[in-house]
Structure 1
């Protein structure tokens, strides 16, 4: 008998699980909708911007530099971006940014320390900072730092002086009342300073850090007088200071 060709039955393909795909799509759409609603709502906006630690810049000035505004997106500006923007303010050494959800941005400013002051020609008080910058003093302060006079034309040595004063003890700098430039050919960075305890000191900016121990010893144990700290260290009570100073000037001035 001839064999009959029996067709092979195809196995039925499993039906696609369309219900799961539909559910996943609905979840995704719902998540997108929630995201849109969240970023359009007030909860995603900056509601409070706080500045702390600034003495030489107002909150309005810092706010402008930061680029922040109440009502802008809380997630639109990173803490790193805020720090970089505020780094351009000359009085600021570093910045700490704390973003607290919802809506609060707290910025703590760390300024360069003040090392000296200057009374400007218009009567305004200016502060010299450890990085050499000069800023307007906007708030009442206790003047426990030296006053600088006559430094307008000597910016190089002024920067060196500010850096030097920043490294000295607060006890010593608070006793210095005034510092003036007093350059000579032999000592182009020579300075003359006066102390609140009644001493007059002649030295150089570069020698001052090395001479502080000697200076402290004289101020603490001797009567007010003229202290010279150049190639050699000398101290003369004011009764004999005039002749000593004339001798020093004759060897250093043109």
Structure 2
């Protein structure tokens, strides 16, 4: 047998007991910490400490923060862990002018509402007031206004349906410069074209077109009028080709008369 110190079993037992005691103490401390952590979490979840403290809203111009919060159903009594993002988004999108709504949670106590509203593209004359027309082609009833933005066109002869949807879609595709130059748009359908429209421009011109090709042709309006004598006003016909008839010339008066009859 090699020479060396021989440790008896009696000497080793106290050391083993001490090591086991340390391990048991560490295990006990871990379990106690885990227990108190669970207790703290239960208290947090069930107490006002986990309630919403702040609601951040962005993207709203038409609806006020108060209106958005009211429809969302959120309050400082709402538990942050019970926020139903899908249901809140659905409720907000039920608002007539709400295009989209995204709900986010920022721990520990903040809810973020990111919304997007439909733009008001035009207005429809309703007796002595105006009804907004949204970018989805819906007429916003119950939102009458006696005044409208200076650059918003007024629509006549339209009702909810495909022609109005096509009209709004075309307006949205037009350059802003051209949009702002339109004063009135009249739906003047004829038997051969239910999408025929007549526009009255802020610069004194009248435009006859079809919604089937309106946005494509009307995008060139600035270059068209640049080729016309500044002292000459009349009708720009974009239905088939693209030509101009000064007021007073034979054919121009006839076009005016047809537009009035169709209205």
Who is 1:9 aligned against? none
CA contact (8 A) 1:113 1:166 kept: no
Q: Select which of 106, 109, 112 maps to 2:112.
A: 106
Tell me whether 1:143 sits opposite 2:130 in the alignment: no
**Structure 2: gaps (5+ residues):** 1-16
Tell me which residue corresponds to 2:239: 230
- Matched with 1:4 is none
With normalisation by structure 1, the TM-score equals 0.77
Partner deviation per Cα, 1:151-172 (whole Å, 9 max, x = no partner): 13x5221011111111111110
Structure 1 pair 179–141 and aligned structure 2 pair: CA distance change class (3 A): closer
- Whole-Å separation in 2 of the counterparts to 1:95 and 1:247: 47
1:180 corresponds to which residue?
186
User: Separation in 1 of the partners of 2:44 and 2:161?
Assistant: 54
CA distance in 2, matches of 1:86, 1:220: 46
Q: Deviations over 1:5-36 (max 9, x none)?
A: xxxxxxxxx99976566444433321121012
Further displaced range: 175-184 or 92-101: 92-101
Instruction: Give secondary structure in 1 for the equivalent of 2:226.
Output: helix
Q: Distance in 2 between matches of 1:121 and 1:43?
A: 54
Q: CA deviation at 1:209?
A: 1.8
What's the secondary structure of 2:248's corresponding residue?
A: helix
Question: Which of residues 94, 99, 120 is equivalent to 1:93?
Answer: 99
Rounded to whole Å, the distance in 1 between the matches of 2:71 and 2:87 is 11
What SS is found at the alignment partner of 1:127?
strand
Please give the per-residue CA displacement for 1:182-219, whole angstroms capped at 9, x wherever unaligned.
Answer: 00011111011111111111111111022124433223
Contact preservation (8 Å) 2:175, 2:219: no
CA contact (8 A) 1:115 1:165 kept: yes
Moved more, 166-175 or 102-111: 102-111
**Mapped partners of 2:55, 2:25: distance in 1:** 48
Give the corresponding residue for 1:133.
Answer: 138
Q: Decide which of 71, 76, 81 is 1:70's aligned counterpart.
A: 76
Partner residue, 1:3? none
Alignment partner, residue 115 of structure 1: 121
Tell me the number of residue pairs that the alignment of Structure 1 and Structure 2 aligns: 237
Separation in structure 2 between the aligned mates of residue 122 and residue 141 of structure 1, nearest angstrom: 12
Alpha-carbon distance between aligned partners in 2 of 1:67 and 1:148, rounded to the nearest angstrom? 37
Distance change in 2, residues 1:197/1:210 (3 Å): same
Going from structure 1 to structure 2, the CA distance change for 1:122 and 1:108 (only over 3 Å counts) comes to: farther
Secondary structure of 1:211 counterpart: helix
Closer/same/farther in 2, CA of residues 145 and 162 from structure 1, 3 Å limit: same
5+ residue gaps, structure 1: 1-13
SS at match of 1:115: strand
1:217 aligns with 2:236: no
User: How far off its partner does 1:43 sit?
Assistant: 3.3
User: Which residue matches 1:7?
Assistant: none
1:244 aligns with 2:242: no
